[in-house]
Structure 1
Amino acid sequence: MQENLEYRSIQPNPSLSDFVDSFWCMKNKSNKTLETIGLPDGRIDLSLIQTNEKPFEIRLLGLGTKQYEKGIIPANSLTFVISFKLPAVEYVFHESVASLINSGKTLENDFWNFNKSDLEDFELFCKKASLKIQALLLKETDLRKQKLFSLIYKTNGALTVKAFSEKSGWSSRQINRYFQHYFGISLKEYSSILRFRASLEHIAKGKLFPEENFSDQTHFIKEVKKISGSLPKELFQNKNDRFILLSALSSK
């Protein structure tokens, strides 16, 4: 991790673990803008941001399916983030994010009653955000969806769409219609992103061979390059800490 970049994460309360992946914060302590390359991680991010140019901003970032060049971390900036799992889109946000594939949007400055003062204490922010999510959360969830997402995250997307369908009791056509409507991609595409994300944890440790559900080394390299634009070796080398997600994983 770059010495001027401070990173910290907190896991959600178990009661929210089906909907929230993590809370994390990132602070650029330097007077220089840092350039990074973003990588898909299978999450939906709600961010509170403070920079020299913009005292306070709230942004929602949809799913990423490929690397994006020149992600910018502004000088003297502070960012608090809630990273959501997919079920949160329907059960917490109550609206589709399909239009936000590889993009994001700026929200109202009082979204969910957040304000600039929430950036003063990360732990208090996590508590406030947790209470808000609990209040918004629909109390009843579709058991088929609950079972499907449990399988998806437990296996890191390792099963086929047919297997997910059979084990969840939900038809493949209905599943893909649901995924396209709410998230903008198919279950197969999302499974590939999750396998890639799980592989990054191994790559960060220098394990440049498949440990997830890839048929062989060639398939592993092909899939990693397709999503990240880089070979596993290049990701591991992570020159100048340009891959921020890998830097965060390496710092754990």
Structure 2
Amino acid sequence: MELNYEEHKPAGFISQFVQCFWMYENRSETTKHTILPHGYFEIVAEFSNGKIGKITQSGIWTQPVNVVIPRGSLILGIRFKLTATEYIFQHPISDIRDQLTSLPFDFWGFDQYGNADFTNFVKQVSKHLLKQLRNFPLQAIDQRKLKLFKLIYLNKFESVEQLAVQIGWSRRQINRYFNQQFGFPLKEYLKIIRCSSAYKYISKGELFPPVNYFDQSHFIKDIKHYTGKTPRQLYHNKDGRFLQLLTQQQN
């Protein structure tokens, strides 16, 4: 398997809405991967010979999803934090939980990036996103939500109750927001984030990583629930099936 995978993590204000930009270039035969739940939603464009073949937006995955990467294809993606649903896309994604929806080829000018280098793709899309964000004056952005997601993505939480106290927002209000905007309660999302934070450790053979699980049995139970595999099976990653672990192992 010959692949070229790159990620670019943004800095500054945009980093509150975008987790990373990424590129996957498949230089060998058609490849099958399984994408594990990671707690973000994405826009992904697939190119062949410089021409765009499809572009999709995902909801949040709460279960593994199988994908096929054609031989010689180039995939460009943007991985968004959940804050982007309101302040960039300006609509909920609850109706596409565990689903993909197709977008027009010229969405955000994606059709022009088939022959562009990854650096230029990141630069141009970042400009577009910053322009989108200027539609919202800072005072219109709910700082409680920014603080909530900052704590979540840093994995600095013990429970829904603890987060509610820290940001000054009731548990009921948070869960109403999550269900309406994303399609599940906060507790479910915290489990997905905790699970996904373990992938980098599992890829290196740490089968009970330091990611806030009460004990190893709870850890194994959650990992198996969201990935369909045990930590040991993920670590062995037969045929490079699990893309997130494969890219970690190659770093």
Report if TM-score (shorter chain) is over 0.5.
yes
Which of residues 54, 57, 62 is equivalent to 1:57? 54
The partner residue of 1:43 within 40, 43, 63 is: 40
In the alignment, the residues of structure 2 paired with residue 234 and residue 92 of structure 1 have an alpha-carbon distance, to the nearest angstrom, of 38
Could you tell me which runs of 5 or more consecutive residues in structure 1 were left unpaired when the two chains were aligned: none
Question: Cα RMSD between the aligned structures?
Answer: 1.7
Hey, what does 2:13 align to over in structure 1? Answer: 15
Q: Name the counterpart of 1:126.
A: 122
- The Cα of 1:113 is off from its aligned counterpart by 2.8
Counterpart position of 2:245: 246
Relative distance call for 1:224 and 1:164 in structure 2 (3 A) is same
- Whole-Å separation in 2 of the counterparts to 1:13 and 1:118: 25
Distance 2:202 2:137 in 1: 38
Distance 2:124 2:54 in 1: 17
How far apart, in 2, do the equivalents of 1:117 and 1:196 lie? 33
Q: Specify the alignment match of 1:110 in structure 2.
A: 106
Q: Amino acid of the residue matched to residue 200 of structure 1?
A: Y
Superimposed CA distance per residue, residues 16-45 of structure 1 (whole angstroms, 9 cap, x where no aligned partner): 111110111001112x32111110111111
User: For 1:90 and 1:251, how far apart are their aligned partners in 2?
Assistant: 35
Question: Aligned pair in 2 of structure 1 residues 117, 36: CA closer, same or farther (>3 Å)?
Answer: closer
Kindly tell me the number of residue pairs found equivalent between the two proteins. Answer: 247
Structure 1 residue 118, shift from structure 2 partner: 5.1
Write the distance in 1 (CA, Å) between the matches of 2:105 and 2:52: 11
Q: Distance in 1 between matches of 2:177 and 2:33?
A: 33
CA positional deviation for 1:184: 1.1
Calculate the TM-score normalised by the size of structure 1: 0.93
Deviations 1:220-242 (A, max 9, x none): 11111011000000000001100
Partner residue of 2:142? 142
Trace 1:70-109 onto structure 2 (pairs within 5 A). 70-109=66-105
Tell me by how many angstroms 1:119 deviates.
4.4
Q: Which amino acid aligns with 1:214?
A: Y
CA distance in 2, matches of 1:20, 1:249: 20
Secondary structure of the structure 2 residue equivalent to 1:192: helix
**For residue 8 of structure 2, what is the amino acid of its counterpart?**
I
Amino acid at match of 2:117: D
* Partner Cα separation in structure 1 for residue 93 and residue 229 of structure 2: 27
CA shift at 1:177, angstroms? 1.0
Alpha-carbon distance change, 118 to 51 in structure 1, aligned in 2, over 3 angstroms = closer
- How far residue 155 of structure 1 moved from its aligned partner, in angstroms, is 2.1
User: Would you say 1:230 and 2:229 are equivalent positions?
Assistant: yes
